[in-house]
């Protein structure tokens, strides 16, 4: 008779837990008996975690663009729980506007949250994870880390940067027994499209028709149920060899394959000219 080994509860540190995937995954982790340091800019928005799950939930005020606050939050979490199994960079938002419309300062602010914020978390977490001899860093990217859409091109660019940073990181820190997984959701019916998760660039009349058509297509897109992602996420983090990249949803792979096939086709068509540049 085979006796199934009892699962040891994990300790999570998750950013951006007030809405969207962050809220779904935090609640699901707590429900399955894990412990979570849940962070948000406004603690009132996540107060129910403490009310419903008691001391399994540690609520921390955190703006990921503030490196000092990031370090303090991580130190508090490890002091409270004694360890961190998973550090999950989930906070982020999208800037809506064409490449021409968006102001450079708006783009910098986007990158402060979507890139420099996660980097601050990683840099603060690595000494903790190295000291304990293990850990798993997760980051919420998107299928738009491989393909692009118009009108949210700067958001896409932040996810392309996010992907490459985590791929390099994974190679650098494997020697410390620290794993890295980039979580890539497709289209889901979350609050990501809410005013709290979007910022809008000042529009230009010449793009009105284009954007109207774009949003019409976007609104007709089939969206997955975010609640269905939790078990898939747990299967991944509980595995002995989690992947570097992890799709969520049934449509991602089709689109990604098409995009890469098109790139390969173009490179191959121009390969003779490309090779002539070798010298």
Rounded Cα gap, residues 112 and 106, in angstroms: 10
Helices (H) and strands (E) in the chain, counts: 10, 9
72 is annotated as an active-site residue: no
194 is annotated as an active-site residue: no
Residues 102, 141, 142, 157: which is the catalytic one?
141
Query: In angstroms, how far is CA 106 from the centroid of its own chain?
Result: 20
Residues 10, 56, 159, 211: which is the catalytic one?
159
Rounded Cα gap, residues 137 and 178, in angstroms: 7
Rounded Cα gap, residues 43 and 39, in angstroms: 8
Q: Please state, in angstroms and as integers, the Cα–Cα distance from residue 61 to each residue in 18, 77, 102, following that order.
A: 11, 12, 30
257 is annotated as an active-site residue: no
Residues 53, 93, 154, 155: which is the catalytic one?
155
Rounded Cα gap, residues 210 and 28, in angstroms: 39
Residues tagged active-site:
141, 155, 159
């Amino acid at each position: 008779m085979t006796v199934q080994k009892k699962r040891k509860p994990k300790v999570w540190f998750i950013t951006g837990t007030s809405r969207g995937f962050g809220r779904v995954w935090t609640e699901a982790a707590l429900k399955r008996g894990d412990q979570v340091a849940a962070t948000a800019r406004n603690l009132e928005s996540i107060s129910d975690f403490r009310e419903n799950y008691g001391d399994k939930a540690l609520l921390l005020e955190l703006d990921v663009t503030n490196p000092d606050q990031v370090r303090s939050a991580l130190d508090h979490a490890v002091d409270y729980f004694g360890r961190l199994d998973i550090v999950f960079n989930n906070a982020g938002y999208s800037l809506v506007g064409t490449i021409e419309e968006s102001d450079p300062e708006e783009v910098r602010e986007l990158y402060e949250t979507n890139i420099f914020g996660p980097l601050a978390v990683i840099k603060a977490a690595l000494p903790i994870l190295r000291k304990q001899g293990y850990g798993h860093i997760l980051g919420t990217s998107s299928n738009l880390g491989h393909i692009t859409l118009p009108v949210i091109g700067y958001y896409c660019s932040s996810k392309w940067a996010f992907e490459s940073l985590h791929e390099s990181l994974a190679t650098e820190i494997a020697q410390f027994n620290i794993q890295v997984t980039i979580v890539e959701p497709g289209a889901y019916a979350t609050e990501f499209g809410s005013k709290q998760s979007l910022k809008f660039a000042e529009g230009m009349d010449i793009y009105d028709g284009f954007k109207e058509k774009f949003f019409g297509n976007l609104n007709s897109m089939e969206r997955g149920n975010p609640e269905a992602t939790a078990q898939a996420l747990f299967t991944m983090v509980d595995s002995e060899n989690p992947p570097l990249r992890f799709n969520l949803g049934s449509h991602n792979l089709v689109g990604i394959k098409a995009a890469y096939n098109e790139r390969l086709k173009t490179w191959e068509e121009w390969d003779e000219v490309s090779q002539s540049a070798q010298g």
